[in-house]
Amino acid sequence: MSFFLGIAPINIRRDARPVELVRLAFPPPLTFVELEKSPFADALCGERPGRTAFLITAGSSSRDVLGLGRERACALHTFSTGLEKVIAACGSCSLLLHWFRSDIRTERIAVRRSETVLATDFFNASIRLEQDVRYSILSAEGLT
């Protein structure tokens, strides 16, 4: 049982490769796993089928990514920098944080609400994510 954070690039160009984009944006100590069809991927992508979703971790969970674990400073900085790169490349992405109590491949997730946030506001708020809220983060350019 632990926190896991998912990310799904939204407006990815047709010629772009989501796996390559995420791999380059989130170097070690972060790791990523492409999420196959699962309730977590469905909750993360929402009404946008066909998007690629990823699990972002540092070690065995996303605690350090969120600034909650032992390696929090390094992982949180790496995550923030990577998220900025994804948003710059795509214009937007979705994030979802969930506390898993069972198997990550089968546990059902009830998204409490969806929020759309400008990237500048999101980063100024020090990345405080609520559990089971799907965040769509937009660059200022993504609005035009």
Place of tokens 């710059």: 88
Contact of 135 with 129, CB cutoff 8 Å: yes
With a CB cutoff of 8 Å and minimum separation 6, the contacts of 54 are 6, 7, 8, 18, 22, 32, 33, 34, 35
Name the most confidently modeled range: 14-18, 40-44, 138-142: 40-44
Q: What is the pLDDT of residue 75?
A: 73
pLDDT in tens, 85-108: 888 888 888 999 998 888 878 889
pLDDT in tens, 103-135: 878 889 999 999 998 888 888 776 678 899 999
End-to-end CA, the chain: 41
Average pLDDT, integer, range 13-42:
81
Q: What is the pLDDT of residue 144?
A: 44
